[in-house]
Structure 1
Amino acid sequence: MSYRQSFIAALLACLFTSLAQAQLLDATAPEAQGVESAGVQAFVEAFEQEVDAPHGVVILRHGHLIAEGWWAPYQPNAPHILYSLSKSFTSTAIGMLADEGKLDIDDPVVSFFPDKLPENPSENLKAMRVRDLLSMTAGHHQDTLSRVTQSGSDDWVRTFLSLDVEHRPGTHFRYNTGATYMCSAIVQKLTGQTVLEYLTPRLFEPLGIEGATWESCPRGINTGGWGLSIGTRDIAKFGQMLLQHGRWNGKQLVSANWVKLATAAQTPNGDNPESDWNQGYGFQFWRSRHNGYRGDGAFGQFCLVLPDQEVVIAINGGYGNMQQVLNLVWKHLLPAIHDQGLPADPGAAAALAQKMKQLAHAPVAGEATSPLAAKLNGKTFTFDENKLDLLSVTFNFDGDTPSANFLTKHDEQRYQFAHGRWISQIIHYEKLGIPAASTTADQPVAASGAWAKPDQLMLRAWLTATPFRLDMQFDFTDDADAMDLQIRMHPLRGKPVTIHASVK
């Protein structure tokens, strides 16, 4: 099918299905692409029933959009932090520079930063190549990330180059986010642009990706190994471009040779045949079972490409067990994919479309109000000393959108919430008391609240540009002069933090 025909087909599809809104992808019923709608639905239902918590999913077959959906309050087109899935985009920038002849992946890393080397560089440091950064075989015994970012120096490149390189580069696999940062630094050294600036006209604009952002180090270099924020559909288009050997709409964005190299197993990384993290590692891509490959990021960010099936699956989420999600793909979705088109199944296709439209995380369950609310209205509770740096909270129960107004040592956060629905808002976080730099600054938040008991208020807030969900439980005394707050940030591990507060 020509591009013109595909474009016309996509326009027509938009008239009959909501699946292709704001897409550059042609939407069809799954059966037309040889996929059982019932199998897709089985995967989606298992995903939402067995995993806490899915945010969004987009599935492509043969370049056609066969299913997409977002669990409210997550929305289409909204950017989502990718964490280490960012690495695959940094790799693509390196590949483009290699295509342009501006670097060779066998260039020594030290050749790019002669002014930042230690006084007596080790032989292992001098032997480290761009290839070794890409394949996570830079030679360090442990990930360098914390040592680079928490050294107290704002010069992360110099810090990285000062670290001991215990193994001969190219011989020892160690997942190393600091190495990806160095790839970003090399891009900026060669081009004078951040990875984001470099990729915007070469990758993001051709793919129709708008509003991408990327975190930077103190010296303005994109973090490379994490920090990119784009939407689920954008991830899917990136995966489709890779599946098409670097081509998009008839234009070669990155060479087919680079895609082949980057997504092939460049180094072994384990021997467990049941683990999708032991199938080999490429250039910032993981090999997967069933001859697949992927970029992935913490808490459930996936760009999964299955060349044998011509399938791309993009996922955003907020959960810890990422292998569980891939297991669901292999269990439910893979068997539903066939080599040839299938007879139309309007009932199953309609059921799937309806399911995808209705995806949602339920608002907090409970009562809309409590007799205690009137006593709490306008009261300020002062917290005992605590590790979250919370100072006080003031409640406002006027109207149908109550609020809990927190004062911290760093800023003020006002959570508006409602019963039976999500309230969208922007909240500024200078610090959340958790190890997640991506939660600083202004964040879109959706909150809901309800009274689980007459003396117990539950509040849930999704930070909808991130994997994180904040759960708060307020247990009040009968006189409404004291309370205990239990607070937990999902999907981070650990027990809820309990803090006592009282009216002074």
Structure 2
Amino acid sequence: MQSLLERWDQDEHPDLHGVVVRVNGAVVAERHYHGADPQALHDIRSAGKSITSLLVGAARDRGLLGALDEQLERYWPRARGSALGRASLAALLTMRSGLAANDQEPDSPGNEDRMDAASDPVAFLLGIPAVDRPGTRYVYNSLTAYAVGLLLEHTMGKSLLAFAREALFEPLGIQRVDWASDAAGHTKGQGNLSLTTGDLARIGQALLDGGQWQGRRILSSSWIKTSMQALVPIGPVDPYADSYGYFWYTKTHQLKRGTETVRFASGNGGNKLYLVPSRRMVVAITSRAYGHGYGQRRSEAILKALLSA
């Protein structure tokens, strides 16, 4: 596998940052491209949404969040009276909030760029109207993950980054991490989390091991299974996934020797955390191809090459 990774170390891939492959708990291949520092923090963009999902599980493990089908306003009083407050936590986690928020449409009222430009992002969020009944239609957007991050901050009484350090990063031995905040100082639960490629793979290993790291329980295995279920078919609108769970994707790949089902986190530019349970394999890919579709195609090609090796 190590030699396979070398094929991507070419001039036409200057923005590929790093790949780390773990099998049966051990790193079996690792490559950092074009002089990239293995210890450099890298922005995994929207793959951070999947980390926010893990933190929902951590809050539930602590008994601080109840039924996922309850409306958000029950857990976060500030959302009462808003379209957002009427959506359930499950609807938010599956991108089915019903809100007028679509990151693929620049003119959408809840487009991520508009939210980022708002001087008061929370007020912006609470002012977005509904266009569908919550839970009925998948529309990719970052606004819902931001809302889940705010809910966690309210529930835990601390920033999302502080809770992430306590519940996830420090138990995994991850010391160096950065998670961007918005104009109001709230951690951006929708993305802009920066980790090393190796630490991203370390998170994947803990998930493959049912929420444990070196014998220590970090997350409940039940939440990992629940969050990674194939809940919403999205193949018609996403060429890289068949279905969506709670901020996690699923894709079954057709290979020469059969099929392989992969669960994964995904971020702009080709940033990926792939989990292949049947092979006990984790593939972490970091890439700087932000805003370029080829980054996603390249990461999928790397995964399929590894699966076919």
Check whether TM > 0.5.
yes
Q: Which residue is 2:131 aligned to?
A: 166
Q: Work out whether residues 117 and 162 of structure 1, in 8 Å CA contact, stay in contact via their aligned partners in 2.
A: no
Q: How far apart are the structure 1 equivalents of 2:15 and 2:154?
A: 39
Q: How far apart are the structure 1 equivalents of 2:27 and 2:302?
A: 20
Q: How far apart are the structure 1 equivalents of 2:230 and 2:11?
A: 33
Q: CA deviation at 1:88?
A: 1.1
1:217-256 superposed matches below 5 A: 217-256=182-221
Higher relative contact order (CA 8 A, sep 6+): 2
CA deviation profile, 1:377-420 (whole Å, cap 9, x unmatched) = xxxxxxxxxxxxxxxxxxxxxxxxxxxxxxxxxxxxxxxxxxxx
Q: Which residue is 2:267 aligned to?
A: 297
Q: Which residue is 2:117 aligned to?
A: 150
Question: Unpaired segments of 5 or more residues in structure 1?
Answer: 1-36, 337-504
CA deviation profile, 1:45-86 (whole Å, cap 9, x unmatched) = 046466443111110001111011212431111111111111
1:49-198 superposed matches below 5 A: 51-104=13-66, 105-118=68-81, 121=82, 125-143=84-102, 144=110, 145-151=112-118, 153-154=119-120, 156-198=121-163
**1:88 counterpart SS class:** helix
Q: How far apart are the structure 2 equivalents of 1:218 and 1:46?
A: 38
Q: Which residue is 2:303 aligned to?
A: 329
CA deviation profile, 1:272-293 (whole Å, cap 9, x unmatched) = 89x323x101111111222111
Q: Give every structure 1 segment of 4 or more consecutive aligned residues whose post-TM-superposition deviation is greater than 3 Å.
A: 46-52, 115-118
Q: TM-score, normalised by structure 1?
A: 0.54
Shift in CA distance, 73/217, structure 1 to aligned 2, threshold 3 Å: same
Shift in CA distance, 126/211, structure 1 to aligned 2, threshold 3 Å: closer
Matched to 2:240, the amino acid is D
Q: How far apart are the structure 2 equivalents of 1:62 and 1:285?
A: 22
Q: How far apart are the structure 2 equivalents of 1:64 and 1:172?
A: 40
Q: Work out whether residues 196 and 222 of structure 1, in 8 Å CA contact, stay in contact via their aligned partners in 2.
A: yes
Q: How far apart are the structure 2 equivalents of 1:173 and 1:159?
A: 21
Q: Work out whether residues 96 and 134 of structure 2, in 8 Å CA contact, stay in contact via their aligned partners in 1.
A: yes
Matched to 2:72, the amino acid is V
Q: How far apart are the structure 2 equivalents of 1:49 and 1:272?
A: 32
Shift in CA distance, 47/167, structure 1 to aligned 2, threshold 3 Å: farther
Q: How far apart are the structure 2 equivalents of 1:201 and 1:100?
A: 12
Q: How far apart are the structure 2 equivalents of 1:142 and 1:44?
A: 40
Matched to 1:108, the amino acid is Q
Q: How far apart are the structure 2 equivalents of 1:42 and 1:188?
A: 42
Matched to 1:327, the amino acid is A
Q: Which residue is 1:286 aligned to?
A: 249
Q: Work out whether residues 272 and 285 of structure 2, in 8 Å CA contact, stay in contact via their aligned partners in 1.
A: yes
**1:146 counterpart SS class:** helix
**1:207 counterpart SS class:** coil
Matched to 2:308, the amino acid is P
Q: Work out whether residues 72 and 79 of structure 2, in 8 Å CA contact, stay in contact via their aligned partners in 1.
A: no
Relative to its length, the structure with more strand (as a share) is 1
Q: Which residue is 2:257 aligned to?
A: none
Matched to 2:300, the amino acid is L
Identity rate of aligned residues, in percent? 28
Shift in CA distance, 85/272, structure 1 to aligned 2, threshold 3 Å: closer
Q: Work out whether residues 85 and 297 of structure 1, in 8 Å CA contact, stay in contact via their aligned partners in 2.
A: yes
Aligned length: 289
* RMSD, aligned CA: 2.0
Shift in CA distance, 272/191, structure 1 to aligned 2, threshold 3 Å: closer
Q: How far apart are the structure 1 equivalents of 2:87 and 2:56?
A: 16
1:378-397 superposed matches below 5 A: none
Matched to 2:42, the amino acid is H
1:194-209 superposed matches below 5 A: 194-209=159-174
Shift in CA distance, 140/308, structure 1 to aligned 2, threshold 3 Å: same
Q: Work out whether residues 9 and 34 of structure 2, in 8 Å CA contact, stay in contact via their aligned partners in 1.
A: no
Q: How far apart are the structure 2 equivalents of 1:57 and 1:171?
A: 37
Q: CA deviation at 1:207?
A: 1.2
Q: Which residue is 2:7 aligned to?
A: 45
Shift in CA distance, 126/228, structure 1 to aligned 2, threshold 3 Å: closer
Matched to 1:288, the amino acid is K
Matched to 1:298, the amino acid is N
Q: Which has the larger radius of gyration?
A: 1
Q: Work out whether residues 82 and 301 of structure 1, in 8 Å CA contact, stay in contact via their aligned partners in 2.
A: yes
Q: How far apart are the structure 2 equivalents of 1:334 and 1:201?
A: 34
Q: How far apart are the structure 1 equivalents of 2:9 and 2:229?
A: 28
Question: Unpaired segments of 5 or more residues in structure 2?
Answer: 103-109, 253-259
